[in-house]
Amino acid sequence: MGIQIDLKKCVSCMACEMACGYHRDEGFALLSSCIMVTRGREKKDYSAVVLKEEENLVIARPEGVEVRKLGSTGKSDQDKGREDASAKPLLLREPCDLCSDRKDGPLCLQFCPVNAISLG
Amino acid sequence: MEYLTSNKVAIVDLGTSKIVHEKLDEALVREKIGGAGVTCELYEKYKEEDPIILGTGLFTGTLVPASALSMITAKNPSTGKVCHAPLTLYAGMEMKYSGFDYIVIKGKAPKPMYLWVHDGIADIHDAKEIWGKNVWDATDSIRDSMGDALIQVLGIGKAGESGSDFGQVCINYWASGDRWGFGKLFGRKKLKSVALRGMSLLEIADPEGFVQACKELLLAVKNGPFAGKQGIAELSAEMGEDIRKWLEPIIHRHLSCFNTPFPTNTFVFLDEDPKHLKESEKNEPGFLITDVYGLLGFNKMGLSAQDSSALLRECARAGIDAVAVAELNQKAGMTQLEEIKRSFGDVKGPLEHLSKEPFSPWAPPAPMFADFALSPDGSQTADWWKRRQAMAYIFGIHPIFALMSPELTEEKLLELATMGTGLEFTPETLEQVVGDILK
């Protein structure tokens, strides 16, 4: 069971990121969120949602979802320069715990206004 | 002031480069709540120095649905009236987390400057490297020099620098809802940009109660009459100008402002296949349309969606209000793409529908999709709009989303305000603040 992200529905509103930040810090902040909307390619309108799980980094891109083992780049050398630097802080944060202490489940899912996040 | 706030106000004197930090006075919040309530008060306090006030709403950057709005409050350089321009996309949210709830910018810089506001620090920087650059290049330059692509830049281009009445303060690369020529005011003060970035934490008086109430509100809102609709063309259709088929072939996707359930923005690809999903090889493949009236202005001139969007892009680069460019060129009988592009420096004259209200007419003048139980003869609509905008600008709610969400009632917003701040806000206080703003 894990968070599923459908990037075709996502409107990059960052509600998931703020909801996750609240779950971590019990205040509004983006510093500790383990889900992140990448925004570093603004002029190209190219954005992904990246989720840090216990063992994986899940990268939901418009063209598909990539699951990468933490610690591996999963990319060929020529693609390394194309990574979105805005997602890097995520690697230092706590992984997703599916908001296990919340009876209604993950907050990111509950705050997504376009139902782009589900459990599966 | 302890909750939903950075608890800081910056007073920036461009003339002396002196910056003073003040605490946000809790008594001021009790009396004026937030957003335009407070920016109007700060404007009055510093009005002899022709200030620009940047301000966040009480809920800006939180989990309250559509809490995307910050604002510029200043005197319209053409009419002399004090007005508010909306700051949406991610800029409103970023301002809240930059460490300041309000920034007062007074005086005039002796040479071009920009203001760098981050993590509770405000610095004045020399803008000699970016003065003269277009909005896009200036944004790139600031982001590159700071090494952070997420900096939100409120900036002017050639129009604002050269004193055009229609100089607009843009957000990063895109048009804003500044219909007041605040770009001219920035230019007059030799203020090229305000760059915002921050990682603050906003504490909440009753965290779980507040977040639960936000969740319930979102559930009520998100299945409203706008559900299933997205983007700028749907807004236009709702306004009685159906451009959906005209725009559809170049739509790449629709984007929301921070935490806003309806995406009011549409990214179009102009130099790339709109259906292209992977990252484009081109650096600047298109444009994010954020202003339905600018788009409609060029549509009414008989231009294609491609050419209209290309013109919007040029307007944003020059930092000029596309609505003025479209209307005044149409009046002058100019309808060709190239001649309109060349006209930016010469666009002059009064606009027909210059709003007399303090809120930007960037937000359409009637309910969008939703039923607010107004009288069918339209007699209540203008007053309703003003009040609805006042709510949006006090609490930090997206001004267009406020027109499509009757669930965001005044009672609910007051309840959230009390839960979030621990301060008691009454309907009487709200009435007083609205009255002051509309005065």
Looking at CA atoms only, how far is residue B135 from chain A in angstroms? Answer: 13
Beta-carbon pairs below 8 A across chains A and B: 111
Question: B11-63 pLDDT, tens per residue?
Answer: 999 999 999 999 999 999 999 999 999 999 999 999 999 999 999 999 999 99
Minimal CA–CA distance to B63: which of B397, B403, B402? B397
Average pLDDT over residues B224-246: 97
- What would the 3-class secondary structure string for B133-193 be? CCHHHHHHHHHHHHCCCCCEEEECCHHHHCCCCCECCEECCECCCCCCCHHHHHHHCCEEE
Q: Could you tell me whether strands A64-69 and B82-87 are parallel, antiparallel, or unpaired per DSSP bridges? A: unpaired
Length of chain B: 439
Q: Give the per-residue pLDDT at B351.
A: 85
d(CA B104, CA B51): 6
Q: Quick one: how far is CA B94 from the chain centroid? A: 12
Q: What is the pTM of this model?
A: 0.97
Do residue B260 and residue A113 have CB atoms under 8 angstroms apart?
yes
User: In this complex, which of B62, B254, B284 lies closest to A43 when CB atoms are compared?
Assistant: B284
Q: What is the pLDDT of residue B19?
A: 98
State the residue range of the domain holding A31.
Answer: 3-119
Per residue in B368-408, pLDDT tens?
999 999 999 999 999 999 999 999 999 999 999 999 999 99
- Domain total for chain A? 1
pLDDT band per the 50, 70, 90 thresholds, residue B127: very high
Instruction: Identify the band that residue B79 occupies on the pLDDT scale cut at 50, 70 and 90.
Output: confident
**Mean predicted lDDT score pLDDT of chain B:** 96
Average pLDDT over residues B281-288: 97
pLDDT of residue B349: 86
Contact list in B for residue A86 (CB cut-off 8 A) is: 149-150
Averaged pLDDT in 10-residue chunks for chain A of 120 residues: 94 98 96 95 96 95 93 58 70 94 96 96
DSSP A72: -
CB contact under 8 A, B90 and A82: no
Identity at B338, one-letter amino acid code = E
Query: Residue B253: its chain A contacts at CB < 8 A?
Result: 45, 62
List the single best residue of A45, A86, A104, A110 to mutate versus B (max B Cβ within 10 A).
A45
Q: What ranges do the domains of chain B cover? A: 221-346
Report the pLDDT value the prediction gives residue A89, as an integer from 0 to 100. 82
pLDDT given for residue B353 in this prediction: 67
B296 falls in which pLDDT band (50, 70, 90)?
very high
pLDDT 10s digits, B152-194? 999 999 999 999 999 999 999 999 999 999 999 999 999 999 9
